[in-house]
Amino acid sequence: MKVKENIRALLAKKCVGIAGAGGLGSNVASALVRSGLGHLVIADHDTVSRENLDRQFFFADQEGRPKVYALQDNLQRISSGTRLTLFYGSVTARNARELFSCCHVVVEAFDMAAEKEWFATWMTENLSHIPLVMGSGIAGWGHSDKLRVQRSGNLYVCGHQLDTHETEVPLMAPRVGLVAMMQADIVLEILLTTKAPSQ
Q: What percent of the chain has pLDDT over 70?
A: 92
Residue 1 CB contacts under 8 Å (≥ 6 apart), including other chains:
none
**Arithmetic mean of pLDDT, 66-73:** 98
H or E element: which one contains 31? Answer: helix 23-35
Query: Residue 169: what pLDDT?
Result: 78
Query: Residue 198: what pLDDT?
Result: 42
Longest distance between any two alpha carbons in the chain, whole Å: 49
> Over the stretch 149-190, which tens digit does the pLDDT of each residue have?
899 999 999 888 554 455 577 777 888 999 999 999 999 999
Residue 191 has pLDDT above 70, yes or no: yes
Query: Residue 170: what pLDDT?
Result: 79
Residue 199 has pLDDT above 70, yes or no: no
Residue 1 has pLDDT above 90, yes or no: no
Tell me the HSE value of 163 on the side-chain side, using a 13 A CA sphere. Answer: 0
Query: Residue 90: what pLDDT?
Result: 96
Rg of the chain taking only CA atoms, in angstroms: 16
> Over the stretch 124-151, which tens digit does the pLDDT of each residue have?
999 999 999 999 877 768 778 788 889 9
Q: What percent of the chain has pLDDT over 90?
A: 75
CA angle at residue 197 from 128 to 159, to 5 degrees?
55
Residue 194 has pLDDT above 70, yes or no: no
Query: Residue 196: what pLDDT?
Result: 44
- Mean pLDDT of the residues in the chain: 91
> Over the stretch 82-112, which tens digit does the pLDDT of each residue have?
999 999 999 999 999 999 999 999 999 998 8
Reported pTM: 0.91
Are 167 and 188 spatial neighbours (Cβ–Cβ below 8 Å)? no
Q: Which of 53, 56, 52 is nearest to 18 (CA)?
A: 56
- CATH architecture classification, 2-193: 3-Layer(aba) Sandwich (3.40)
Confidence of residue 43 (pLDDT cuts 50, 70, 90): very high
